[in-house]
Structure 1
């Protein structure tokens, strides 16, 4: 049994301990505003944010939702909720209001912090969610309010001035801290419950597997509503005392500038971001000499992109993870050979990775099966979703990905067990997109399949049986308030009649065989 009266030693203690150990070292820099924050600054801000939570009625075990781009205030809330024993639920500002409303209903936050540009969508989402949290608006200045939330104070104005030490409850290692949403087999978002212990263990795995140091600096190119925004590098670097540089929007030139001017040492990004950086005018002139390594995640990285980074002397390799476990599970050994570039590496120090058949039995080395993972950094399950939790979480976490282990012990991801595809690091589920497309009056039947794309890795192609005067522009305009933009099909094709493999059952494989080449 965990002694809940013992002093709190988990994530909520990190800003305080970093402030005690390395008070003048910079933990966060904001490339958008030029602001810089030492660990002493971050802890004072976290204490002020704890007082804000309590002023707004947030108690231990309550949830705080935030809809925002990467901003220092989101960091405040990360440390403050950990100190207060509450959970933080960052929600994607890219989602359409119905999707966002579903997540708000599931999280049921006591406090909702919304960045001003997204107030209208959040207001629409709240109206359909059935929840009524206290709202604080995060904007460009302390007095910022919006017409959607005229009674809500601005974040800076509501933040108490007192940054002194706050009393904190005892927090058990299995208490939740982060609720991070991912997709389900039908595209319905699920909230994954990450505990204090899991967050700590992922940091340990990342630090030991990748050799992170206390002087490491990274530009954070993942959004903070993703596990990538927190657990890939941000939290591990704070654990070590490194520096994280954030910005509101991704700009490849700015990232190159951060690496150059801030002495960036480590970088993790999706393949599309890595490609955009190599295509930028500043690629050849940017000083990347301090960049010790780069990693690609969120989908397969093309060999041509990797070669461009290698030509600059950067050790770029592929990684693998998921919100439900990690996300950092593998590492490339020292001196790994380039012929292993399509592998994700070997299991990290505290990760047990296996490849199993449909019965859960291990397959022979070299055979393809489902990748399953076991580690103390695994999530606790899905929020209020016992059926999906039981299906995914057991002795091992079922990833749903097909993989093989080669003769040298390197793991290779071979594809998705289900039909989900990854576009620019975002999971897209065809069934969800098909449901939305099928609502168009010109569509009788539709199948959405992934096709290769140089920029995003994969994008959707809608194969439609229906009115052939329908254009892709018309379809995307129709989907604007129904689906997030990254889920919109980028190609449109027509078929006279859908092939079937049985009574009224569309043969998806036949559709993909005919239309999936481009």
Structure 2
């Protein structure tokens, strides 16, 4: 059994700031009080402990209160991605079969037979429920759907143990400081955002929540000394670095670290970040691991540039394959025990190990380097070509902001690499092709280049390479 997280935190540090959103702030005691009130009003609607509640909302204070309220009532949460289409959302609702759907407003173009807005709940009467002071560690806290980059999205169960052990492993790795404030610009429906809420109640840490990512506002808040940590994906890091470069500013020494996940980070981004005094720690994790599995230590950030670090304390990583490079496999108490809905029969673990579908290698000191998704691998003329390697080479060109590479079927070679680039200034295809010849082997060179306005990304801001060919 684990303690009721928010109840315990409100008891330990009631006056410490739990949440900042806009101009408002909540202490842990205030957050518990409002979450408890939300739980009582849900209970008055007939919601019982153990029921499943889907939530569709932007990241805001109301959502944080609703999440904690549902957890106080003992419900499972299905965190819906607000950036999905109506068809995609309907699939997840049909698959997860929640007892009710909570929405932040009725403008959402999604229907469900039992649907309430936050406003409906707030205007309801209160009904006392049997609050649990202890929670089973096997209890499902959240259900999140995978990004679907390799097929139909799967609903992943994330237990209390998964969240708690992940947060504990992260704390043992990064350290906890009494004045820590995690700047949250990643969506709460994604594991990178939800895990910040879990860390907050376990650590007694402030969360500064933003509805949307605005690199100018992020830089301003950090320069004011109001935040000490944050989580991002590579494209967001690039935009923050660009703001600092344009302003000729640097991060203060009070800022502890940016955790960057969601895929390999181009080395040029990391090198530019170092120049602006940004402590970047590349990290590797997934929905099935309740966030981080490996994270680079700050003291190794330069020595092991490009690595995702070593496993957190309770995690283990191995490479499956006869060669040095192969599929990344993960083991530990932070790994999910199963799925729901259509994927319920699928067992995530094989002999205790989660096979991730990602390709990587461990160096001689045990540091993980993530190379690419196995499903994105391009096999051209019998040679393996990793899109991430080509993308990293492309963004080294001063005119290129972002790049995406995918394979296209070819009668002669089987597949050929095709490059899509977002640029900030005029550059010719001939110039890019000549530049790439200086960066990578000839057999890996993209056979075609396309200039586009933006790369296709999913709700977690990850590049969806399979959609690139649709842009031709």
Corresponding residue to 2:156 among 192, 197, 203: 192
Corresponding residue to 2:293 among 306, 329, 333: 329
Distance 1:67 1:240 in 2: 27
Asked if 1:25 corresponds to 2:5, the answer is: no
Normalised to the residue count of structure 2, the TM-score between the two structures is 0.77
Correspondence list, 1:102-501, <5 A: 102-116=91-105, 118-120=107-109, 122-123=110-111, 126=112, 132-133=113-114, 135-138=115-118, 153=120, 155-158=121-124, 160=126, 167-168=131-132, 171-184=135-148, 186-231=150-195, 233-261=196-224, 263-280=226-243, 284-285=248-249, 288-333=252-297, 335-336=299-300, 338-357=302-321, 363=322, 367-385=324-342, 389-390=346-347, 392=349, 394-419=351-376, 451=419, 453=421, 489=467
Detail structure 1 runs of 4+ shifted over 6 Å in the superposition.
420-423, 447-450
Distance 2:10 2:150 in 1: 44
Partner of 1:507: none
Give the CA RMSD over aligned residues: 3.4
Deviation by residue 1:484-513 (Cα, 9 ceiling, x = unmatched): 99869466676xxxxxxxxxxxxxxxxxxx
**Does the 8 Å CA contact 2:225/2:254 hold for their aligned counterparts?**
no
SS in 2 for 1:158: coil
Distance 1:186 1:312 in 2: 36
> Can you give the 5+ residue segments of structure 1 that lack an aligned partner in the other structure?
1-7, 127-131, 143-152, 358-362, 432-446, 456-471, 495-518
**Does the 8 Å CA contact 1:356/1:372 hold for their aligned counterparts?**
yes
Distance 1:84 1:91 in 2: 19
* Aligned-residue offset at 1:17: 1.5
Normalised to the residue count of structure 1, the TM-score between the two structures is 0.71
Distance 1:386 1:110, change over 3 A: closer
Partner of 1:92: 81
Partner of 1:50: 39
**Does the 8 Å CA contact 1:333/1:345 hold for their aligned counterparts?**
yes
Partner of 2:428: none
SS in 1 for 2:264: coil
Distance 1:398 1:485 in 2: 20
Distance 1:65 1:353, change over 3 A: same
**Does the 8 Å CA contact 1:317/1:341 hold for their aligned counterparts?**
no
> Can you give the 5+ residue segments of structure 2 that lack an aligned partner in the other structure?
378-386, 392-403, 408-414, 424-451
SS in 2 for 1:180: strand
Distance 1:489 1:448 in 2: 16
SS in 2 for 1:338: coil
Distance 2:201 2:224 in 1: 20
Distance 2:43 2:49 in 1: 9
Distance 1:448 1:175, change over 3 A: farther
SS in 1 for 2:271: helix
User: When you count strand as a share of all residues, which structure comes out higher?
Assistant: 2
Distance 1:286 1:346, change over 3 A: closer
Aligned length: 408
Distance 1:391 1:16, change over 3 A: closer
**Does the 8 Å CA contact 1:65/1:113 hold for their aligned counterparts?**
yes
Distance 1:451 1:205, change over 3 A: farther
